Amino acid sequence: MNESLLRELVPAVIGVIVRRGADFAAAEDAVQDALVEAVRVWPDDPPRDPKGWLVTAAWRKFLDAARAETSRRHREERVDGEPEPGQGGAVDDTLQLYFLCAHPSLTPASAVALTLRAVGGLTTRQIAQAYLVPEATMAQRISRAKRTVSGVRFNQTGDVATVLRVLYLVFNEGYSGDVDLAAEAIRLTRQLAVRTHHEEVAGLLALMLLHHARRPARTGPDGRLVPLAEQDRGLWDTRLIAEGLDVLQAALARDRLGEFQAQAAIAALHADAQKAEETDWVQIVEWYDELVRLTGSPVARLNRAVAVGEADGARAGLAALAGLDPALPRYTAVEAYLRERDGDPVAAARLYAEAARSASSLPERDHLTRQAARLNARLRG
């Protein structure tokens, strides 16, 4: 059983069923039922045309469900004239599914879940495990999302920027459960890049590849978080870095800069440094200037303050930090780092401890707590 093939076929098969007359929710349910049947049948009797087999099975599932409704007569009129079994159709509807699943009427969490289900081909159980929530909770979330988009025309033009934000959310969700969501986000973004040839899609793909390349070095053997400057760069995946750089260079050559390209350029400068001290912080500050110009993002400004502190000294970094809202996530941790570099360990220790109390993850909390303990031990000694 080729599970990856099944998942790759899901969006195309949903698209065929929708174009034959089903609404999105009914089509997605029918395809999921067909997948269950495929898992049962294919190991002993693999089809010569997997997509055609799934289309035929899903269409029959849809007809069975439609005929069971009280509005059977209306639905049977709508689905009259069934195409020949096994004909999958030449139209590739994956791109439309991306747009539909990232519909602006959906919450970010619902958009992510629906994308993983309809485009990624994951089961509700797999998505629930990845998000560490009960399967019933995730099933309700997906059902609500499908109801929300059920009336949306399938051929409406979508917003690439919204799709990219959903994929970026998937990428940043981590690695819980059976499914590696970072790897899944890369797989889906690769698909989107092939279908759109959009420079910002390429920028996001490059950013994901460059970040993912550093994954083996991000935690130590004991599970502790390892800051970028302390990572063993020999553990970085040079193949992914090379691919990310190639994708980024091709995107930048189109001369239509966007925020994901700018973020990828920053990641590329980190990846290009053989040692932490060789990092070109001056160029990184320049790219953060571009990112701030493009987005006005307070988070980009916060990260820029760190880069300024590295390029021009801690005092300059603190000056850049001063104009930002202290309520920003990670603001206190950044200030602690810059205070320590500026020679104020007392303030830094206090700020590290404060940042630990509001950390969003256990590894981050543990790291900040250890930073505070390290400085306090030095002060006592």
pLDDT tens digits, one per residue of 218-248: 999 888 999 999 999 999 999 999 999 999 9
pLDDT of res. 153: 67
- How far apart, in whole angstroms, are the C-alpha atoms of residue 300 and residue 309? 14
Mean pLDDT of 328-340: 96
Mean pLDDT of 314-321: 97
| Cβ 63 vs Cβ 82: under 8 Å | yes
- Residues sharing a CB contact under 8 Å with residue 279, sequence separation 6 or more, in sequence order: 269, 270, 273, 310
At 4, is the pLDDT very low, low, confident or very high (cuts 50, 70, 90)? confident
pLDDT of 172 over the 50 cut: yes
pLDDT of res. 366: 95
pLDDT of res. 79: 44
pLDDT of res. 346: 97
In terms of average pLDDT, the best of 135-149, 154-168, 257-271 is 257-271
Mean pLDDT of 187-193: 89
Angstrom distances, CA of residue 128 to CA of 40, 80, 179: 23, 37, 10
pLDDT tens digits, one per residue of 275-302: 999 999 999 999 999 999 999 999 999 9
pLDDT tens digits, one per residue of 30-54: 888 888 888 888 888 888 898 999 9
Can you give the pTM of this predicted structure?
0.79
Relative orientation angle of helices 50-68 and 24-41, to the nearest 10 degrees: 120
When the pLDDT of each residue in the chain is averaged and rounded to a whole number, the result is: 87
Mean pLDDT of 164-193: 82
Domain range list for the chain: 3-78, 93-190, 197-272
pLDDT of res. 83: 39
pLDDT of res. 78: 46
Please report, as a single letter, which amino acid is at residue 261.
Q
- How far apart, in whole angstroms, are the C-alpha atoms of residue 133 and residue 325? 32
pLDDT tens digits, one per residue of 111-142: 888 888 888 888 888 888 877 789 999 999 99
pLDDT of res. 155: 59
pLDDT of 173 over the 80 cut: no
pLDDT of res. 62: 86
Closest CA to 14 of 113, 103, 93: 93
DSSP H helices in the chain: 3-19, 24-41, 50-68, 72-78, 94-101, 108-118, 124-131, 135-149, 160-172, 181-196, 199-213, 238-252, 259-272, 281-295, 298-312, 314-322, 331-341, 345-357, 362-380
pLDDT tens digits, one per residue of 73-103: 443 444 444 434 434 344 456 777 888 888 8
